[in-house]
Every structure is written in C-alpha cells, then in structure tokens.
Amino acid sequence: MYKQFTAGEIIVVDVEDDPERPGEKQLGFKAVEGFQPPAAIELAGVGDGGSATTPDSDPE
C-alpha cells in the first residue's frame, strides 16, 4: 500500500474471496474521495474591522 493512495482519500478495507486460494479470504483496499473543504471560509470578525469576541454592551 506504500504510496498507492493520496491525501484526502478515505481508504475502505473489506474482506473478499481470494482468487488464488479458493475458500480463503483476503483484505481488499479501495480509495474513495474524502472530505473536500470549501474553497474559502470567512471567519466571524474577519474583514469587518470588528472583533469576534466583543462582549454585549448590555449584559443582563
């Protein structure tokens, strides 16, 4: 498995019949596309000149 898969892929491991040894099982590995982060995420308080941690002006 060395360098057969790339970053971001989810590796699914399953048991399947072994074609070389009838009646035996072997592990099978399959890659599926994993988590894809959004292109851009704007965090609270970024770009508006304010602070994301500013407390309320009228605490109750």
pLDDT one-digit tens code per residue, 14-29: 999 999 999 999 999 9
| List of residues 6+ apart from 11 with CB closer than 8 A | 5, 29, 30, 31
d(CA 10, CA 30): 8
Mean pLDDT calculated for residue range 25-45: 80
pTM of the complete model: 0.45
Between residues 16 and 45, which one has the greater pLDDT?
16
| List of residues 6+ apart from 16 with CB closer than 8 A | 25, 26, 27, 28
Domain ranges of the chain: 1-35
50-to-12, 41, 45, 56, 58 alpha-carbon distances in Å: 44, 17, 5, 13, 17
